[in-house]
């Protein structure tokens, strides 16, 4: 197939058929230019120029070739120029778990897109299990999850951390510490199966989780908060990011749990066969830097970090 250099030399000679002049202009030997044109003609199996003396005269087939290809060549040059001038252009397909997608990624994406205006980010918010599956199947470039991932084809990188709290709107519960099973009589509202929050909570309480009766399951943390705010008998384990405002306003209350800490890490995951373009490298770096500056609650998006 034709090389960009061969086409470039062909179009140069269409405008000025003097090889000697072109040689001086682009600092390339006359013989190298001639070889490149002959290579192009050989690939087309037709001459594009008539050789008259030392001049090259574009023939009828050469004129047709130029007419059919020149606008495509310009588009290709424009595309290549865009990549060389701005390596951080393109569209990233990502998926984030609920806490990350709703509370961490919005300001990160806002700041990133404000800095790199030729980029676009398509973000889906779903649970960690579905994200791992989407990455494994190559449906998305990057996944942002709040649970462990031991998939054989996956690479994971830590980018932040979180604390899960046991909370209720019953203020009296905040006045002392409890073993977790002392609270099993309450109506526990948890995230759906596959949620990173649910998995971390159940893993941390261990075998005793088998005795826990889950009253309701919800896919959205906002729904859980609504129930808690209206029912003192309800209780949950939830990210500090999600309930910080309600804790500050004393609408919800943290319950101290003995001998258990609900800490977790946030991970970026991608397929081990995924090509890490400059855009992906920059976005991963950006996310890590942003999460390092993250506070409770997350700040309003701004133009610079």
Q: What domains are defined for the chain? A: 4-85 (1.10.10.10), 90-161+265-292 (3.40.190.10), 163-263 (3.40.190.10)
The CA angle 247-300-251, to the nearest 5 degrees, is 15
Tokens of 61: 């087939």
pLDDT exceeds 70 at position 292 = no
Give the three-state DSSP class for 62.
Answer: helix
State how far the Cα of 247 lies from the Cα of 253, in Å rounded to an integer.
6
What pLDDT, in 10s, does the model give residues 208-255? 999 999 999 998 888 999 999 999 999 999 999 899 999 999 999 999
Average pLDDT of the residues in 176-202: 93
**Per-residue pLDDT, 164:** 94
**Closest to 254 in 3D by CA, of 170, 183, 146, 197:** 170
- Reported in sequence order, the residue ranges of 83-181 that DSSP labels E, i.e. its strands, are 90-96, 119-125, 142-145, 154-168, 177-178
pLDDT exceeds 50 at position 154 = yes
pLDDT exceeds 90 at position 183 = yes
**Per-residue pLDDT, 57:** 86
State how far the Cα of 69 lies from the Cα of 272, in Å rounded to an integer.
39
Give the three-state DSSP class for 192.
Answer: coil
Average pLDDT of the residues in 61-77: 86
pTM: 0.64
Residue 55's pLDDT band, with cuts at 50, 70 and 90, is confident
Helix, strand and coil content of the chain, in percent to the nearest 5, comes to: 50, 25, 30
The pLDDT mean for the chain works out to: 88
**Per-residue pLDDT, 276:** 85
Alpha helices (runs of H) in 100-220, residue ranges in sequence order: 105-115, 128-136, 196-205
Residue 296's pLDDT band, with cuts at 50, 70 and 90, is very low
């Amino acid at each position: 197939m034709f090389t960009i250099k061969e086409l470039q030399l062909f179009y140069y000679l269409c405008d000025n058929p003097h090889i000697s002049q072109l040689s001086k202009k682009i600092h390339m030997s006359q013989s190298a230019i001639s070889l490149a044109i002959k290579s192009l003609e050989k690939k087309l199996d037709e001459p594009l120029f008539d050789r008259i003396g030392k001049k090259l005269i574009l023939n009828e087939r050469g004129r047709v070739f130029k007419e059919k290809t020149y606008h495509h060549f310009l588009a290709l040059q424009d595309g290549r120029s865009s990549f060389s001038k701005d390596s951080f252009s393109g569209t990233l397909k990502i998926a984030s778990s609920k806490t990350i997608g709703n509370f961490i990624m919005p300001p990160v994406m806002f700041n990133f897109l404000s800095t790199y205006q030729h980029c676009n980010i398509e973000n889906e918010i779903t649970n960690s299990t579905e994200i791992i599956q989407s990455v494994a199947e190559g449906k998305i470039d990057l996944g942002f999850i709040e649970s462990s991932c031991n998939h054989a084809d996956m690479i994971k990188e830590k980018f932040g951390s979180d604390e899960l709290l046991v909370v209720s709107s019953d203020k009296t519960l905040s006045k002392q510490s409890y073993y977790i099973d002392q609270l099993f009589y309450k109506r526990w509202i948890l995230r759906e199966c596959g949620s990173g929050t649910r998995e971390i909570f159940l893993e941390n309480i261990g075998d005793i989780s088998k005795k826990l009766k889950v009253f309701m399951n919800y896919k959205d943390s906002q729904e859980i908060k609504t129930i808690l705010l209206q029912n003192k008998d309800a209780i949950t384990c939830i990210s500090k990011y999600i309930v910080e405002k309600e804790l500050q306003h004393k609408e919800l209350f943290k319950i101290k749990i003995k001998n258990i800490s609900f800490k977790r890490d946030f991970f970026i995951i991608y397929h081990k066969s995924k090509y890490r373009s400059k855009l992906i490298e920059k976005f991963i770096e950006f996310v890590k830097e942003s999460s390092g500056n993250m506070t409770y609650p997350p700040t309003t998006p701004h133009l610079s970090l």
